[in-house]
């Protein structure tokens, strides 16, 4: 089995900010590709622009458990995103809480375009109420810290070499 360098995160580890070098789906000059090549590892990159914090944690933990028998041959690199990027639901339809996008009327990342047409008006109203009356940094940070500890403890207990990077906040 070849050694694997696994990445997960939002647009930065996906490479989408590299504009000229990025073509939909993959960027050959993103850090995960360059580092994998330099180390002689196979690259797995599950990053995606606008991915929620919850998705990054859940996907990484699922990958770790699925591949736990190969943990000695895998390095996991997780780039955490903004704690505010959380899934909310309009009925059974998920949307990523991205207030700046929603309040401009734009479909939030990771939200289905056809669902957005149906929920847009109500979600904009909800977001205005949320940001005015309910948004509290502690709300997001408490969950964020619990998730990071869960990820850290899971990866450590399964014997992985890993790096968890916080690209948005300095604690």
Contacts of 8 (CB under 8 A, 6+ apart): 45, 46, 47, 51, 56, 59, 60, 63, 76, 77, 78, 79
Q: What are phi and psi of 144, to 5 degrees?
A: -60, -50
pLDDT tens digits, one per residue of 105-132:
999 888 889 999 999 999 999 999 999 9
Please give the Cα distance from 121 to 146 (Å, whole number): 33
Global pTM exceeds 0.75 = yes
Per-10-residue mean pLDDT of the chain, 171 residues long, equals: 91 72 63 89 90 91 98 95 85 88 89 93 95 86 90 97 76 47
């Amino acid at each position: 089995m070849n050694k694997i360098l696994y990445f997960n995160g939002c647009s930065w580890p996906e490479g989408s900010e590299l504009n000229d070098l990025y073509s939909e789906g993959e960027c050959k000059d993103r850090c995960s590709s360059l580092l994998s090549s330099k180390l002689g590892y196979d690259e797995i990159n599950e990053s995606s622009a606008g991915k929620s914090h919850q998705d990054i944690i859940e996907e990484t933990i699922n990958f770790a458990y699925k591949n736990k028998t190969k943990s000695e041959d895998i390095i996991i690199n997780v780039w955490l995103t903004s704690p505010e990027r959380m899934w909310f639901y309009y009925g059974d339809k998920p949307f990523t809480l991205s207030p700046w996008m929603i309040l401009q009327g734009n479909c939030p990342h990771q939200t289905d375009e056809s669902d957005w047409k149906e929920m847009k008006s109500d979600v904009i109203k909800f977001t205005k109420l949320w940001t005015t009356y309910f948004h509290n940094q502690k709300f997001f940070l408490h969950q964020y810290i619990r998730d990071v500890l869960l990820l850290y403890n899971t990866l450590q207990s399964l014997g992985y070499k890993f790096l968890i990077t916080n690209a948005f906040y300095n604690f």
